[in-house]
Amino acid sequence: MGEGKRVGNGLAGWSGWCLGLCLVVSFSNVVSLQLVGAPSDAASLALAGVPSLARIGAYGALAVLAKRVGSVLGRRRLLLLAGVAMSVGAAGAATMPPWAATLCAVVLNVGFAVLYLGWMELYAQFDTAYVLVFFTLAHFFSALLTFLVCLIEPFPVVVLATILMPAASLLALCRADRRTKEVAFRQGERQRAGWTISVRPLVLLAAFGFSNAVIRGFLGAQDRVTVLFGVCVAAACVLVAALARKGMIEIKALYQIAVPVLVAGALLVLMGYGWSGVAAALCSNAAFTLFSVFVTVVFCGISYRYGVNAVWMFGITQASLFLGSFAGKAVSAWARRFSPIPRCLWRR
């Protein structure tokens, strides 16, 4: 009885650290929702896209240099520098004038790419069932944490909470890496088989990122917080299914469900009613969460089985995802300013 209790406490101890990814995702959400102002003119609209391009470039550069870098997770100084860049960049983005805030946003986006790849490298060393549960829980808690931070009234407290997230996430990453070093599900299989990434998943990632960005473009800042409920619902459904079947769910089913949910969101946008924009974004966020879990589990499984460099693989996939999202935001911003669609259809 005592032995079982000790095992259970140990499991709870290291598994909690493995969920520190939620702090990185929450950081990105809060920065985009609370700390970076909406562009008000053509010049600020052009500047608003620069940080996104910096994140895409950072992912692409890390993918290209993956063989030389080898491991982001093993380079603690690089991770520490990334965490500092995120915190300093977030503080600057909230307090500096527009041109300086844009530079700070570039710095934090580069740091975000490094720390996120560190987490993906850790997850890529886990067995599929653990990746499914941990990554889904990370999305669920990131949405809840974003809700909580955005409910805080004093703006300085929001800034302080945001700049502390990278440090807490980095601490969780280091603890999770150390405490799971010897566990059975992290040993990998390393089968001898050639494997190369295909274009199809990259196109699908870009398409989902584009669609989600366009649909969310119909929302005001407050609604963008509300529709995170779609992430919670999708993550909760995946968790219930995974726990009910002890992690042995059909991963492909997540993609098969995500596509019609995303289509439903696009159709709701076209309805043009006052509530349809929020409903569409709820569907879009849910679909994007399902697809993100699907892609992450699949690619982590490939790295786990065949020893494919996770920095290279997730650098490419995340660059594709954010490239699609960048294009979607650009189309949405262009439509806001120049489209003949009546302004009443755009949420403020």
**What's the average model confidence in pLDDT over 131-137?**
93
Average pLDDT, the chain: 82
Banded pLDDT at 189 (limits 50, 70, 90): low
Give CA separation, 324 vs 48, 50, 120, 204, 210, in Å.
16, 15, 20, 9, 4
pLDDT surpasses 50 at 138: yes
With a CB cutoff of 8 Å and minimum separation 6, the contacts of 325 are 52, 209, 210, 212, 213
Banded pLDDT at 120 (limits 50, 70, 90): very high
Q: Do residues 110 and 54 lie in contact, with contact meaning Cβ atoms separated by under 8 Å?
A: yes
User: Which pLDDT score is estimated for 181?
Assistant: 82
Burial class (CB in 10 A: 0-12, 13-18, 19+), 306: middle
Choice between 243 and 166, residue whose per-residue pLDDT is larger? 166
**What's the average model confidence in pLDDT over 26-30?**
91
Among residues 192, 46, 166, the alpha carbon closest in space to that of 111 is found at 166
**Radius of gyration, alpha carbons of the chain:** 20
User: Which pLDDT score is estimated for 56?
Assistant: 93
Q: Do residues 259 and 208 lie in contact, with contact meaning Cβ atoms separated by under 8 Å?
A: no
User: Which pLDDT score is estimated for 5?
Assistant: 40
pLDDT surpasses 90 at 330: no
**What's the average model confidence in pLDDT over 135-155?**
89
Banded pLDDT at 348 (limits 50, 70, 90): very low
Per residue in 13-22, pLDDT tens? 567 889 999 9
Instruction: Give the CB-side neighbour count of residue 250, counting CA atoms within 13 A.
Output: 5
Q: According to the per-residue pLDDT averaged within each range, which of 7-11, 67-71, 134-138, 272-276 is highest?
A: 134-138
